[in-house]
Amino acid sequence: MDIKGAIADADDGQLVEMLMDAFRRIIVHYGAWFAEVEHQIGMENAVAVEKEVWDASVSNQINRLGKTLGFSVENGVPTALKRLPRESLIDLLEKVGVNWLANDGIWFQAVEKKFGMMDAKRCNDTCWTRFSPFEAARIKSMLNLPERGGIPALKKALGHRMYAFINKQSMEDVDENCVIFRMNDCRVQAARKRKGLPDYPCKSAGLVEYPYFAKTIDPRIRTECIGCPPDDHPDEWFCAWKFTLEPDAKG
């Protein structure tokens, strides 16, 4: 049986299932390419290549889908998305942020269920070595931040993370070369607290996540953990991090 024959023999429900699975394969293949390019030629090169790939790939895919499904596209973005009112765009950003966090949690729980907490934490921490610098690089590009923008650049970048769309966070200036960042309300930890569960011990991930993010914004920035579960912390925040610009540091 040839491919066309296999499609012809599928009923409508099967065709829909095939379409959804095709999108799934695109996402996984995209991520697999990024992970392997990072492994082979380094994060900085992977981020640069990914930008070129995304600009070409997403425009190509959206335009083709637009023609097939009958929606208009402007510069690679569905016109309907551009026409949404501001309130809807903000709400959509929050929903996408929640989806991102839920996706992360589902992966963690699936690995934990099959292989245990330690393997799940190891996979989680390693994921942050890729996602955190990638997110920083994307924000840096979107905001057109300077290559060595110091603490001001970092403060802007921290306000545009996925976490910033869904959690409550604050920053306290120590001086022009130092800032303290606090996660005042974390959806994950707050949910555990409502259920009477102890804090999730996320410090090992944070010790990867925050330094990688800060150094991508400016390699001269040093990160210190003030407190992060399983550390004790006050009711006002779940974790806190100190970022210090070291002008003489090599970067």
Q: Are residues 213 and 99 in the same domain?
A: yes
Q: Where is the domain boundary, 83, 118, 139?
A: 83
Q: Are residues 89 and 1 in the same domain?
A: no
Q: Are residues 148 and 207 in the same domain?
A: yes
Q: Are residues 15 and 122 in the same domain?
A: no
Q: Are residues 41 and 92 in the same domain?
A: no
Counting the structural domains of the chain, the total is: 2
Q: Are residues 48 and 119 in the same domain?
A: no
Strands 221-227 and 178-185 turn out to be unpaired
pLDDT of residue 214: 98
pLDDT of residue 246: 94
Q: Are residues 14 and 134 in the same domain?
A: no
Q: Where is the domain boundary, 83, 98, 114?
A: 83
CB neighbourhood size of 150 (10 A): 18
- Single-letter code of the amino acid located at 1: M
Residue 19: which domain range? Answer: 1-83
The per-residue pLDDT string of the chain (251 residues; one tens digit each, 9 = 90 and over) reads 455 667 888 899 999 999 999 999 999 999 999 999 999 999 999 999 999 999 999 989 999 999 999 999 998 899 999 999 999 999 999 999 999 999 999 999 999 999 999 999 999 999 999 999 999 999 999 999 999 999 999 999 999 999 999 999 999 999 999 999 999 999 999 999 999 999 999 999 999 999 999 999 999 999 999 999 999 999 999 999 999 999 865 44
Q: Are residues 52 and 176 in the same domain?
A: no
CATH number of the domain where residue 175 is located: 3.30.1380
pLDDT of residue 5: 66
pLDDT of residue 200: 93
pLDDT of residue 4: 65
Q: Which residues are 245's β-sheet partners?
A: 221
Q: Are residues 38 and 27 in the same domain?
A: yes
Q: Are residues 105 and 200 in the same domain?
A: yes
pLDDT of residue 251: 47
Q: Are residues 30 and 91 in the same domain?
A: no
CA dist., res. 109 & res. 117, Å (int): 9
Q: Are residues 13 and 69 in the same domain?
A: yes
pLDDT of residue 9: 86
Q: Where is the domain boundary, 42, 58, 83?
A: 83
Beta strands in the chain (DSSP E): 73-74, 77-78, 168-175, 178-185, 221-227, 239-245
Helix (H, G, I), strand (E, B) or coil at 199: coil
